[in-house]
Amino acid sequence: MRRWRPLLFAGAAGLLAGGATIGAAALAGMPGKEIFHLTLLVLPPLALTVAVGGLVWKRDAAARERMIERQRRDLITAISHDLRTPLASLRAMAEAIDEEVVDDPETMRRYAGEMRRSSASLATLVDDLFELVQLEAQAIEVESRKATVSEVVESALAACAPHALRKGLHLETRLDGAGTVACSPHLGRVLQNLIQNAIRHTPADGTVRVEAERDRAGLHLVVSDTGEGMPPDSLDRVFDPFWRGDAARGGEGSGLGLALSARIVEALGGQIRVESEPARGSRFAVLVPDRG
């Protein structure tokens, strides 16, 4: 696009100069025949402007199509990868049971537990993917129901507390008087995803904190942790669907939690950003307009 800007500017400048000249000539009483000749002088820069504009539009449209196609391929590849692991596990255990490779009660119970976890993983992935597609298609509709900050925080913590307890983590909250502020119930899903992500990447005896504050800019929600953190070059992609900084970060979750959080916040007219430092933890900050 930048390479075409000089030509666009030149064409536009020529068109404006020609129009100004014709207008001045008409006001000065120049004969119509001579004004016609002047008009012919304006046509080349006009034609150049239209031609260059068409080329730029065509080139940009082609670039957008290539980007969308590349994103579609990446998404399909990521989905296929995340589906393959639980499906392979389910198939292997089902075949072992069906072919009577295992038949002792203890192994059967262990297989049943593994199959239930794999099924839950698949269900979470499908649900998150469906919700992401809905959010990509349209913004969240006007909501008739409201929640309070205390309600969405308590709901998110209740969903995440068992996992935190198993890891020996400390969950803390600080609402600073914002607990009674009305907000969208969808923020509960945002907080749950952010808290789950923090728990996933915080070692035992670490801390995950949820904070809320209200000011003239709107409602601020922050989820911070004392976990492993992320390198600076990861921060630009952390909200991309299925993106993971390294293979070791891909063991749990659907890979869509942070992407969903970002899409929900954007649909609510807000902003989400992340700060992180390796070995010192991460901080996800959400700002949404105050509609309460």
Q: Which residues, in sequence order, are bridge partners of residue 281?
A: 277
Q: What is the rounded CA–CA span in Å between residue 153 and residue 157?
A: 6
Q: Which residues, in sequence order, are bridge partners of residue 224?
A: 209, 283
Structure tokens at 177: 């008087």
The pLDDT of residue 103 is 82
The pLDDT of residue 150 is 95
**pLDDT of 155 over the 90 cut:** yes
The pLDDT of residue 275 is 95
Q: What is the rounded CA–CA span in Å between residue 132 and residue 124?
A: 12
Q: Which of 40-49, 204-213, 220-229, 235-244 has the lowest mean pLDDT?
A: 40-49
Taking a C-beta distance cutoff of 8 angstroms, is the pair 254, 128 a contact? yes
Q: What is the rounded CA–CA span in Å between residue 249 and residue 235?
A: 14
Indicate the residue type of 115.
M
Q: Cα dihedral angle (116, 119, 123, 125), rounded to 10 degrees?
A: 120
- Mean pLDDT, range 148-172, rounded to an integer: 94
| 112 Cβ contact partners less than 8 Å away, ≥ 6 residues apart | none
The pLDDT of residue 249 is 43
The pLDDT of residue 127 is 77
- Taking alpha carbons only, the member of 217, 149, 213, 158 closest to residue 186 is 149
**pLDDT of 1 over the 60 cut:** no
**pLDDT of 250 over the 50 cut:** no
The pLDDT of residue 247 is 45
- Mean pLDDT, range 105-128, rounded to an integer: 83
Range with the largest mean pLDDT of 56-60, 69-73, 101-105, 137-141: 101-105
**pLDDT of 292 over the 60 cut:** no
The pLDDT of residue 224 is 97
* Burial profile 84-96: b = 16 or more Cβ within 10 angstroms, e = fewer: eebeebbeebeee
